[in-house]
Each structure stands twice: as structure tokens, then as C-alpha cells.
Amino acid sequence: MSFPGTGKIWMNGSLVEWADATIHVASHVIHYGSGVFEGARAYNTPRGTATFRLDAHLHRLFDSAKIYRMEPTYSYADLHAAVRETIRANEMKACYIRPIVYRGYHTLGVNPFPCPVDTAILLWEWGAYLGQDALTNGVDVRVSSWSRAAPNTFPTLAKTSANYANSSLIKMEAISEGYSEGIALDTFGYLSEGSGQNLFVVRNDVIYTPPVTASILPGITRDSVIAIARDHGFKVREEMLPRETLYIADEAFFAGTAVEITPIRTVDKISIGNGRRGPITEAIQNGFFDIINGRVEDKHGWLEYVYDGEPRQTVGASTPAGTSART
Ligand SMILES: Cc1ncc(COP(=O)(O)O)c(C=O)c1O
């Protein structure tokens, strides 16, 4: 998917044309990956366009900035309003939302402190990340030869541009060998996550997912899956999982803003269950799609309508991001 190259981008408080939203090649972020960002979505529901868990995404953005000692120039409320303003200015019905806070142009030493902290919000239309077919029929994946970052190296609770160098290695290896995705292990050999999505495994009717200590990004979708699963009466456990858990799973699926909920049908050419989307995966998918499409009551308050009035006030951050449903 390439960009259409039109529309408005919010940059440091102004809406600018897509083609004019440029930065200098000497900007710190280009050389040292000194950016933190988010990926959220807005959906076209029968009541109108609604963002999905924008509050949790923005709180994670501020957590990421704090870990990297960046002081965003704009407050949570400013960015919340700016996302809504940008969606309205582009007259978007459904879109992917990419806020980014990054170190800009001043000097090019490793020390980022002298560089300004700039902010932008981009939107684009983005359908099913791994293809529409994948949502029903699942994807073929491999366990990556690359590991996720070791603890106390690149902090995985931060969604930072630098971490996506590792994600790109995982993704490129998988694609080069004919797979849709790679699943990375942590440096202790336990299951971690995909290049841009969290991992769930089902065995004997229990849903398992690696904990935040397994070098994962604590996904907002992961948190939503846990809540939906519990709403449906399923048992969910966050546990360190050995690699072979995948091969003997009844079902497995990815969860993330881009992939939404995508079944995994094979890992390393071994069929998961009967090699098709399993019933628990389908139940969780239906629960998720019913909420984002406005077909059921939004009892967790995850949708915020963009075109009707002022944003609802949100109270308190979940720290680390995405842990609010974990009780
Ligand atoms: C590495 C990684 N893990 C997990 C996720 C899923 O997070 P979320 O559900 O908040 O999109 C993402 C997506 O941003 C990701 O890049």
C-alpha cells in the first residue's frame, strides 16, 4: 500500500498539506531513531466515526516519551483534541492514526537533549494489514531467528522508532522466506511477540499470552482481547511460554491495531490445531469486531465519536500502558 499523497498532516500545532510535511535530513530522529509513536484506528460505525481506545494509545505515547526523557511540547489534552481535529479536517470515516513525537533539527551528537521535541499526527486509510483473507483463513508464520531486545537494552514498554529496527529484521526474514510474519522469542528463549503484534495461544480452552516481562510491547489490542475473553467467560493466563507451546496449540492468533485479530494457521510449517481458524479465536474476533463496528454496547467505553461534540474526559493513565483490564 502506498500513500495517496494528499490530505492534511498536523505538525507542531498546524495543519499542513501532505507534500509540505517535511523535516530536515539532519533531524536527530533520522540518524538515531529518537522518536516515540502510536498506531491507533478510527472506525466507521453506524453512529459515525469513532476512535478506538485513543486515550490508552495517547497515555502509552506519554509513557514512551517519559522513558526516553522527552518532554512533549503538547499535553495529553492537546494531542487528544489534535487527533480529532485532524480526522475532521481530512473528513476521514475510517483511518489509521499515527501520532509521533520526535527529536528534530539542532545538532547531530548522540546526546538528543539539545534537539527540539517535535510532534506530528498523520492519518491514512489502512485496511486489513495482512490481507482480508488472513482474518478468516489465518496466516503462515515462522519463529524468527532474531530475538526481541533483552531486558535493560531497548525498553520494550516504549513504542520507540528504534525498536522497529528489530521488528524490520523479523519481518524481512519472514517475508523473504515466504511467510506472512515472524514470531520472535525473548533472549531467554520464551515466546515474545510478532514484528508488530502480540501473540495468543489457546490450549484446552485456556487462552495464554506472554507477559510484559517477555520483552513485548504491551498492546492495547492485547489488553482488549483479555477483557473480551474474560467477558465471554474464557480463562486467560499471562505466562512465560516455551516455543513448543505454539506447535501443540489448539489455536493461535495475533492481536494488534494493524492486524486487529488474525488467526495463525501454521508455525514453521506445522499446522496449529486443524490448520483453520479455531472457535475461540472466532469468538474473540466476533466480540472485537462487534465493538469496533458499533454492533454491541460499548460497555468498556472504548469508542469516542469524532464528529459529535467535545471529547469525553478520560481519567488516569494505565501504567504500564494497556494493563487496565488485567484483573
Ligand atoms: C511490536 C508490537 N507489539 C505489539 C503491538 C500491538 O499493540 P497495539 O495493540 O497497541 O497496536 C504492536 C503494534 O503497535 C507492535 O508494534
Q: How far is the CA of 94 from the centre of ligand 1 (A)?
A: 19
Q: Which atom of ligand 1 is nearest to the CA of 56?
A: 10
Q: How far is the CA of 106 from the centre of ligand 1 (A)?
A: 31
pLDDT, position 313: 44
Percent of the chain at pLDDT > 90 equals 90
Does position 99 have pLDDT exceeding 70, yes or no?
yes
Residues with CB under 6 A from ligand 1: 39, 167, 193, 196-198, 217, 219-222, 256-257
Quick one: 86 exposed, middle or buried, by C-beta within 10 A (0-12, 13-18, 19+)?
A: buried
Of the candidates 8, 66, 93, 159, the residue annotated as catalytic is: 159
Radius of gyration, alpha carbons of the chain: 19
List the helix and strand counts (H, then E) for the chain: 7, 17
- The pLDDT confidence band at residue 108, using thresholds 50, 70 and 90, is very high
pLDDT tens-digit map of 136-166: 999 999 999 999 999 999 999 999 999 999 9
Quick one: 219 exposed, middle or buried, by C-beta within 10 A (0-12, 13-18, 19+)?
A: buried
Does position 318 have pLDDT exceeding 80, yes or no?
no
Q: Residue 58: enclosing H or E segment and its boundaries?
A: helix 54-67
- Rounded to an integer, what distance in angstroms lies between the CA atom of residue 213 and that of residue 157? 9
Is 159 catalytic? The answer is: yes
Does position 1 have pLDDT exceeding 80, yes or no?
no
pLDDT, position 128: 79
Q: Which amino acid is at 235?
A: K
pLDDT tens-digit map of 31-66: 999 999 999 999 999 999 999 999 999 999 999 999
Q: Which atom of ligand 1 is nearest to the CA of 217?
A: 3
Percent of the chain at pLDDT > 70 equals 94
- Rounded to an integer, what distance in angstroms lies between the CA atom of residue 184 and that of residue 215? 10
- Rounded to an integer, what distance in angstroms lies between the CA atom of residue 167 and that of residue 110? 22
Residue 320 preceded by cis peptide, ω within 30: yes
**Helix 220-231 crosses helix 279-292 at what angle (to 10 degrees)?**
110
Cell 505466562: give the residue.
239
Grid cell, residue 159, equals 513504542
- Rounded to an integer, what distance in angstroms lies between the CA atom of residue 145 and that of residue 321? 28
pLDDT, position 173: 98
- Rounded to an integer, what distance in angstroms lies between the CA atom of residue 183 and that of residue 35? 24
- Rounded to an integer, what distance in angstroms lies between the CA atom of residue 142 and that of residue 174? 7
Q: How far is the CA of 257 from the centre of ligand 1 (A)?
A: 7
pLDDT tens-digit map of 181-222: 999 999 999 999 999 999 999 999 999 999 999 999 999 999
Q: In 3D, which of 33, 26, 29, 84 has the Cα closest to residue 54?
A: 84
